[in-house]
Chains A and B, each alone.
Chain A
Amino acid sequence: MSATTTHEFSDATRDESSLRRFLHGLPGVDAVGLEQRSAGLATRSIKKSSKRWAIDTAISMVDLTTLEGADTPGKVRSLCAKARHPAPATPRVAAVCVYPDMVATAAQEVAGTGVEVASVATAFPSGRSSLRIKIADTEYAVEAGATEIDMVIDRGAFLAGRYGQVFDEIRTIKAACGDTHLKVILETGELATYDNVRRASWLALLAGGDFIKTSTGKVSPAATLPVTNLMLQAVRDWHAATGQHRGVKPAGGIRTTKDAIRHLVAVHEVAGPDWLTPKLFRFGASSLLNDLLMQRQTQLSGHYSGPDYVTVD
């Protein structure tokens, strides 16, 4: 365990048993109530200029992602081009998200555009490797030019209750990142309960994660509205306690504009308007962008253009 945490939770992270006491002392989550609230937020009716604003904001929050074994430099270049300039007169997306070996290609393509290069690391997606490998994986991505690292936590250690190990690992990766932004993937689909999601969120925040991220996109269920809701509560409470803003990134499973707007409503009403910025909220997605572009077109022209009018990448 590290003793360098200086905020008011330093007691909580002093040793393994303090950490356990703290995490288990967090208020429980009632699943029925959380899901009811999420369903309630999903009924918000966002129309006209508020919808156009939401679509543009959502576009600017996309981490445009490709994480396939079959990725090629050509595909990544094409993705970067789309990220810089999704369609005429649209905002650029927040970042591209790729595997470490594609970082150099991506970094070259988006240099100077403001689009960040995010790379998954730490034996993504399973996190099943030694700490040494995970550090090397991170350093490889950072050296190649990644400005954001999306790490996975060791779910096995978390579920077995070895919170200290998970905490130390996040801190170690954070140190390896240096100034590079760190997003901590909880893989909520494997955590099984909302109580666990809350604990993992706090664990990642305590360990210094700049963002907490729902999923790798490789496990189902990925991002759901109740889980995003819960993680937004965590960053809201973190801010109330420390004054620091931390971000949330739902990833995987958000494919439609409607879904994205529902998430933005949750950001707005659960965490607060402060979080309606790509600095604090991202969508990890690939197909979402095209739907946002189509809906944007529909809003502007008054008719639906269809999937042939947006690019496939």
Chain B
Amino acid sequence: MTWEYDPAPESRAIANLKPTYRPFVDGEFVDGTGEPLKSVNPATEEVLAEVGTAGPTDVDKAVKAARRAYDKVWGRMPGSERAKYIFRIARMIAERARELAVLETLDNGKPIKESRDTDVPTASAHFFYHAGWADKLEYAGYGPDPRPLGVAGQVIPWNFPLLMAAWKIAPALACGNTVVLKPAETTPLTALVLAEIIQQAELPPGVVNIVPGAGDVGAELVNHPGVAKVAFTGSTEVGKLIQGSLAGTGKKLTLELGGKAANIVFDDAPLDQAVEGIVNGIFFNQGHVCCAGSRLLVQESIADELLDRLHERVATLRVGDPMDKNTDVGAINSRDQLSKIRELVTSGEQEGAQRWTSPCPLPEKGFFFAPTVFANVTQSMRIAREEIFGPVLSVLTFRTPDEALAKANNTPYGLSAGVWTEKGSRILWMADRLRAGVVWANTFNRFDPAAPFGGYQESGFGREGGRTGLEAYLDV
């Protein structure tokens, strides 16, 4: 018997899409002096809207407005008052959750069920969580009266556009800083709706500024002398450039960069749930996740069985229209990213890894890539070392816990790791020795505003979220 699910598309009208979006500077939406960019729906390749970008003078205006707002209002406002504004933002995100989710899916290509069930609720939760800290900073463990830093210049990636904006803005505001944020070039829309929310929440002008644009705008922002703190989430390559250019300036810096996380499955793991965790680890958000579990390390005694189960499960993933409520894997965010994934997959085949790709049908238009699993991968292959940032899993095997550990740590990155075993002592043993900022045990890709997130080595430094995350925005 066959049972095909009928299309269950979310309504596009809910996104309230406008033909043009503009930068948000000093409390107003302004015409940017940069060359406007066109934001594209990666699932259909249609242009969604034209977005004004910031030129150098707009960045300068934004930083100065932020500084004024910091000096005159926000930096000296009691925490209990700041909290009211931040709570208001959290509530307004929740109230407009559906609109934001649909807009995010149109602009980014991620499935509506992910923007609806993960991105938007978690973004709101970050504002709620940090609103609570605003009047309790003296109890955060950073001294009796920790002070803010000033203007925070923040640059965020395209994989979780609204959520990353929330991760950056909420702690900055809670600690008393003001913000100039640059959203990613391919996904600026939800950040600009967030600007609208911030305007409606009546934050004093200049407290939050959003300056869309490409990498040059980001460079202008982080190098602006008026910026006291830089927070960047994105590629390791750009992170290194930023770190280089900031050296000696006295600006405080946190970087959240790439990753090549190991998801380690021992032979006593809860197998069905491990399969789910592997799938969630690498195919969630099309694998566009810096902490994606892109390397599966599986104990050799269960490797064949696990791979069979994994193939069976991955073949059931529904790839296609991101607006369909039953889609599990959506569109790759851009043509550039799709070519990068294809190039690395070709290298995997050439280097002798065994490729398996889900037989799922793909839409004819748009940027799509079928979930792919490489077996017989060795440490030296590019697909085991380089971040693919797509729905491609590399499977390696190990025999002993020591070997698992050695392979897992054998990477210049160190953002996250997963350990699957029913043995609690082994979880602790591994977690102690894994060089990764987050170690998940019998789960993967779980996020909470109260849990600090960040990396080791070339995955960056500094933490976001939790009490620890406040440090980045305080003068301590």
Chain A interfacial positions (CB closer than 8 Å to B): 27-30, 32-34, 36-37, 43-51, 53-54, 57, 233, 264, 268-269, 273, 276-277
Contacts and interface: CB of A to CB of B under 8 A. Distances in A.
B326 interface: yes
With most chain B CB atoms within 10 A of its CB, the pick from A46, A49, A54 is A46
Contacts of B1: 57, 273, 276-277
Contacts of B316: 269
Given A53-B3, A54-B3, A37 B273 contact: yes
Nearest to B441: A30
Given A32-B442, A32-B443, A45-B325, A268 B273 contact: no
A235 B106 CA distance: 40
Interface string B368-410: 0000000000000000000000000000000000000000000
B47 interface: no
Contacts of A36: 276, 443
A49 B326 contact: no
A27 B271 contact: yes
Contacts of A268: 3
Contacts, number: 70
Nearest to A36: B276
A273 B3 CA distance: 7
B269 interface: yes
Contacts of A57: 1, 3
A45 B272 contact: no
A27 B8 contact: no
B117 interface: yes
A44 B316 CA distance: 13
B270 A28 contact: yes
Contacts of A33: 270, 272-273, 276-277, 442-443
B113 interface: yes
B3 A37 contact: no
30 contacts: A27-B271, A27-B272, A28-B268, A28-B270, A28-B422, A29-B270, A30-B273, A30-B443, A32-B442, A33-B273, A33-B277, A33-B443, A34-B272, A37-B276, A43-B325, A45-B5, A45-B8, A45-B326, A46-B5, A46-B6, A47-B5, A50-B3, A50-B6, A51-B6, A53-B3, A54-B3, A268-B3, A273-B1, A276-B1, A277-B1
B432 interface: no
A44 B1 CA distance: 19
Given A30-B442, A32-B442, A276 B276 contact: no
A49 B422 CA distance: 43
Contact of A44 (B117, B269, B326): B326
B16 interface: no
Nearest to A194: B270
Contacts of A273: 1-3
Given A30-B443, A47-B8, A49-B6, 4 more contacts: A28-B270, A34-B272, A50-B4, A54-B3
Interface string B1-42: 111111110000000000000000000000000000000000
B269 A27 contact: yes
Q: For the side of the interface on B, what is the size category?
A: 20 to 34
Interface string B400-430: 0000000000000000000000100000000
Contacts of B269: 27-28
A297 to B, nearest CB: 19
Contacts of B5: 44-47, 50
A29 B276 CA distance: 12
A268 B1 CA distance: 10
Contacts of A28: 268-270, 422
A47 B7 CA distance: 7
Contacts of A32: 273, 442-443
A30 B446 CA distance: 15
Nearest to A264: B3
B269 to A, nearest CB: 7
B123 to A, nearest CB: 19
Interface in B442-466: 442-443
B272 A29 contact: yes
Contacts of B272: 27, 29, 33-34, 233
Contacts of B268: 27-28
A157 B154 CA distance: 63
B122 to A, nearest CB: 15
B442 A47 contact: no
A53 B1 CA distance: 11
A53 B117 CA distance: 27
Contacts of B113: 43
Contacts of A49: 6
A30 B7 CA distance: 32
Contacts of B8: 45-47
Contacts of B117: 43
A34 B270 CA distance: 10
Interface string B288-321: 0000000000000000000000000000100000
Nearest to B325: A45
A61 to B, nearest CB: 12
Nearest to A275: B1
A44 B111 CA distance: 13
